[in-house]
Amino acid sequence: MKQKDPPQLFMDKGDTDLPNPYGKESTFGRVSESALSRRVRTRDSQRRFWTRASILNGMPNLRLLLATAAAPYAILLLAGWKYAFDEAGVAVLVMLSVLCVPTLLASTFAQMSARDRLQLKAGGKRSMEAYPGVERILNTLHERVLRERTRLLCTLVAAFAINSVGNFDTGTTLASLLYGLAVFLCAIALLNTLKLEQSIPMRNDDFPLLSLHAPTLHQSTLDRVLSDLLVAHLDPETAGAWDDWVRRLEDKVRSNQTPDSAVEHLLRVLHLNYLGLLDDDRLLSEAKRVFRVAAIDGLTSDDSKFSIESLRILMEHTRHWQPGLFRLIDRLQDSAMRGHASLIENRWRMDLDLPPRCTQGQGDLFVMVHNHSRESSQVEIEIIAADGEPHLQTLRVNPPLSRQPKRPAILGEEGNDLVDVLGRLIDNCIVLWIGLAWPVSTTGSRPVQVNLRGPKGETLSSIVVTTSLSSGFNPEGAAEKMLEAAVAVRRLAISVAE
């Protein structure tokens, strides 16, 4: 009798047909990702519809007007003014309630859309939740939904209270209580309206989450100055798309460029274009110097997420958040064009910028150092903030060697073109972004001194600036910057669309 072969316990690697859910060819996880993307598109379309409905034909101003009128009218009813009628008060509150429905739906769909967007994968590898600022965006939208619900509920209950006085025999005491309740609820509705009507988020279709993001974490040293600053102010969704875009530029830049250097060059010429020093033709020619044709097609396409026009929007957003760094660059550009002695004659050049007013005990200090000594050396940057926390900061840095201009730079002059001179000066310097802090209770003018010390401890440069600490409104405070940046981005987006 023939003996059977023993069962084969181990199969050859080439014969196995077992699925590998984590392999490159696997579709594991793609189905759920696709379903999530479809849900994002669906909710986003609903968000756009209700957002347009909530801002249609001056509705924000009408809601503010009705909310402002409701509380004083309820007070007149409580005071028993003979010309104040319950029906008029109910009509005002009902109209306000109807107008608040679109804003509530817009905020609800905005919250759902943002939550779904931030669950998508950046580049198919990691969740956008890995980027800083996610919790703040979601919390802001959640707070807005709560405020919308509170406003709508207060107006409905206030209308019911006033209507009850007019339609039921409540008596003097109960009527006074109901009118008092209406006054209290109308005041709450007014406070929420003042907060909510400042700005309606996610109105920009290209970068819907951008207006909700505030920079929290950033590098102290900016290597690619404009690129690093811009990325620090991008919301998680846009930051993930930015990383993917820069990676895809690997084969679309000139042989003497890297994707990072090409993007940095483009941002510099965009800023010069913003200042009016370069026209659009020169801007495009500068882009062609560092990008190949395949990238230029994307930069000039309206369908591209990161085109020249959308980069203008992102630069405008960053400029409103951190005007200090742009003031440094503008002074550097002005010194290069005028041939200032600090740039052409001195071996070391230091410039800094601090907001003239700092709110809530916080401010951003930018320091730019150029080494024209032709010798590599480590220097110390000493920051002394009166009453600051800490009072003294000492940073040891190694500024790169920078080629010192010999004469004023002239736009378009071969070998001394402003674009090239400014590019070299920005690339070959060190820029520090330092957060300063004071006790919240501190107010008034405070000096900040920055000392640049050489390798042997000698003082190479020293600058003292002052800032005014305030707990009230500040044009360069975080909340005001966020609001102004959102308005500027929306205004620029509208002008580009037209």
pTM for the whole thing? 0.76
The label of the residue with tokens 């598109």 reads 41
Q: Where are the alpha helices (DSSP H) in 80-216?
A: 86-117, 134-167, 171-196
Helix, coil or strand: residue 435: strand
CATH code assigned to 212-497: 2.60.40.3880
Cα gap 377→397, rounded to integer Å: 9
- pLDDT for 13 equals 45
Q: Which residues pair with 157 in a beta bridge?
A: none
Per-residue pLDDT at 361? 80
- Three-state DSSP string of 341-383: HHHHCCCEEEEEECCCEEECCEEEEEEEEEECCCCCCCEEEEE
Which residue has 């001394």 as its token pair?
416
Task: Please say whether the beta carbons of 268 and 423 come within 8 A.
Answer: yes
Q: Report domain extents, the chain.
A: 30-200, 212-497
Amino acid identity for residue 453 in this structure: R
Cβ neighbours of 301 (radius 10 Å): 12
Q: What is the CA radius of gyration of the chain?
A: 30
pLDDT at 449: 95
Structural fold of domain 30-200: Four Helix Bundle (Hemerythrin (Met), subunit A) (1.20.120)
Q: Do domains 30-200 and 212-497 have the same CATH topology?
A: no
In terms of Cα–Cα distance, which of 140, 136, 131 is closest to 241? 131
Give dist(CA 152, CA 50) in Å, integer: 16
Contact between residue 71 and residue 104 where contact means Cβ atoms under 8 Å apart: no
Q: What is the pLDDT along the chain (498 residues), one digit of tens a residue?
A: 444 554 444 444 444 455 554 444 444 444 455 676 787 788 888 888 988 888 888 888 999 999 999 999 999 988 888 788 888 999 999 999 999 999 999 999 988 888 887 776 544 445 566 566 777 888 888 999 999 999 999 999 999 999 988 777 777 888 889 999 999 999 999 999 998 888 777 776 677 788 777 776 678 899 999 999 999 888 888 888 898 999 999 999 998 899 999 999 999 999 999 999 999 999 999 999 999 998 999 999 888 889 999 999 999 999 988 899 999 999 999 999 999 988 998 999 999 999 988 877 888 999 999 999 988 989 999 999 988 888 899 999 999 999 999 899 998 888 899 999 999 999 999 999 998 988 877 788 889 999 999 988 899 999 999 998 876 544 455 555 555 555 555 555 555 444
The phi, psi pair for 284, rounded to 5°, reads -65, -40
- In this prediction, residue 22 carries a pLDDT of 44
Quote the DSSP letter at residue 417.
Answer: B
CB-CB neighbours of 497 under 10 Å: 9
CA atoms within 13 A on the CB side of 97: 17
